Amino acid sequence: MPEGDTIHRAARTLDRALRGRQITGFATEYAQLAAVDDQSPIAGRTIEGVEARGKWLLVRFSGDLILVTHMLMSGSWHIYRPGEKWQLPRRRARVILDTDSFVAVAFDVPVAEFHTERSLARHAMLPQLGPDVLAGEFDEADAVARMCAHPHEEIGNVLLDQRVLAGIGNVYKSEICFAAQVNPFRKVATLTPKELADIAAIARRTMKANVADEAKSGIVTYTGLRRTTGSADRGARLWVYGRRGRPCRRCGAAIESRKQGAGARTTFWCPRCQAEG
């Protein structure tokens, strides 16, 4: 599933390519979007900006219209030059935005809605999001307070709750807990204020490192593999995620994994570095 860093990079790329450009063509596979286009055409509108909010991506058009998308497990946004060959077949395109210089395509995006500012304020999820780990401003104290509001839940589950911290997904959940040396199955009530503050700070630092803007100009932004260890080596980029049975990079103990939470998401941890006691 795309996590907050993926959505942030997609929003940054789309914003660079599309901001200030006029829509010359619009196509969609979704009836509800097509109905809005029929009543109030998207073509002719100007894109005012693209932003990420946690795992949500918002495309703002002139005339108080906002396209809101969520990737869930398999969605993605692509940018192409007009006439350039797409990396995925057209049958998988759900939304297509044409401009004079770029074509933005949402492939396999399962959630796509049009909103006004007023309707967005009544959205079922967006107004409830916790502090966005990748936002320009991050309120660490608010993040800690929101974690503390779930004292009887396991910290691994709490980190996936977008109402607590927006943008963290299953990969970062395991990686953040490892970096903080906290067992992901500990109840929040057992964590010290320092441990909670460390978790919030590590979440911010780790995810920010994965959206570093190495391309100061142009459209291409970050294209590398997600990494939390700081290593550029493809095989050494993560501490624990996906490494069940392999030696811990710090102590050598075998990494363990098991399902966690109502969604049965797989959590990875080191039993020695992250002892429950």
Taking only the tens place, the pLDDT of each residue in 204-250 is 999 998 887 655 544 443 345 778 888 878 888 999 999 999 999 99
**Which of these ranges, 28-32, 119-123, 173-177, has the smallest mean pLDDT?**
119-123
Helices (H), 86-244: 117-120, 140-148, 155-160, 170-179, 193-209
- CA–chain centroid gap for 251, Å, is 30
Residues 108 and 199 both lie in one domain: no
Contact 116, 65 (CB under 8 A): yes
Query: pLDDT for 36-71, tens place per residue?
Result: 999 999 999 999 999 999 999 999 999 999 999 998
Query: In the chain, what percentage of residues exceed pLDDT 90?
Result: 81
Residues 144 and 265 both lie in one domain? yes
**Is 99 in the same domain as 147?**
no
Does 105 have pLDDT greater than 50?
A: yes
Q: Within a domain: residue 133?
A: no
Q: Identify each DSSP E strand in 71-128 by its residue range.
A: 76-80, 93-98, 103-107, 111-115
- Residue 75 falls inside a structural domain: yes
**Which residue, among 191, 102, 96, 94, has the nearest Cα to 152 in the 3D structure?**
191
Q: What share of the chain is helix, strand, coil (3-state, %, to 5)?
A: 30, 20, 50
Both 51 and 104 in a single domain?
A: yes
What is the number of other CB atoms lying within 10 angstroms of the CB of residue 122? 9
Q: Are residues 263 and 240 in the same domain?
A: yes
Residues 153 and 110 in one domain: no
Please give the Cα distance from 224 to 102 (Å, whole number). 23
Residues that are catalytic: 2-3, 55, 265
Task: Please tell me whether residues 101 and 188 are part of one structural domain.
Answer: no
Total domains in the fold of the chain: 2
pLDDT of 95 > 90? The answer is: yes
- CATH number of the domain within which 16 lies: 3.20.190.10
Residue in 162, 26, 35 with CA at minimum distance from that of residue 98:
26
Residues 147, 124 share a domain: no
Residue 265 host element (H or E): strand 265-269
Residue 5 parent element (H or E): helix 4-18
Q: Do 11 and 117 share a domain, yes or no?
A: yes
Claim to verify: residue 212 and residue 262 sit in the same structural domain: yes
Residue 277: pLDDT band (50, 70, 90) is: low
Range of the domain at 79: 4-128
87 is written with which tokens?
């990396």
Could you tell me the maximum CA-CA distance found in the chain, to the nearest angstrom?
Answer: 62
**Would residue 156 count as lying in a domain?**
yes
Q: Which two tokens stand for residue 274?
A: 């992250």
Residue appearing with tokens 């109502």: 262
